[in-house]
């Protein structure tokens, strides 16, 4: 991660938010680095970079459960929901982030169309798959 950049084309000194947060504390290495940079380029504007927006799927347990209910056939929905709840319960013994990543991994493996279409919980327009009879 690049914390501090000099944009020569735009005449800007660009800092990440994490770098700027540390640079506000007098005496830190980041504070000294920022001061050196501002002394070297006094005519340049100083800008704090906006955080990058996450483009990953923003899945939630509720979304996964609703997706299973709407995209599974009547014959398989109960078994799939049972498997989902079992995964969720088994993963609960891990830390919070690890717990969700285990269930998310299972869900994305079972429904790869979520990854392929790049949809998220807010705007998923994936239609139920037609199961061959």
Q: What is the pTM of this model?
A: 0.48
Statement: residue 122 has pLDDT above 60: no
pLDDT at 56: 46
More confident residue, 99 or 80: 80
DSSP 127: P
pLDDT at 42: 94
Statement: residue 94 has pLDDT above 70: yes
Distance CA 57, CA 37 (A): 38
| Residue 77 phi, psi dihedral angles, 5° rounding | -65, -40
């Amino acid at each position: 991660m690049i914390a501090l950049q000099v944009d020569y084309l735009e005449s800007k000194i660009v800092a990440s938010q994490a770098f700027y947060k540390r640079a506000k504390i007098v005496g830190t290495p980041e504070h000294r680095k920022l001061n050196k940079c501002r002394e070297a380029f006094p005519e340049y504007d100083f800008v704090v970079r906006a955080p990058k927006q996450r483009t990953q799927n923003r899945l939630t347990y509720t979304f996964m459960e609703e997706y299973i209910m709407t995209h599974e056939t009547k014959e398989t929905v109960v078994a799939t929901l049972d498997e989902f709840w079992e995964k969720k319960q088994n993963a609960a013994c891990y830390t919070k982030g690890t717990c969700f990543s285990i269930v998310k991994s299972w869900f994305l493996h079972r429904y790869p169309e979520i990854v392929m279409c790049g949809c998220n919980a807010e705007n998923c327009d994936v239609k139920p798959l037609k199961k061959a009879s």
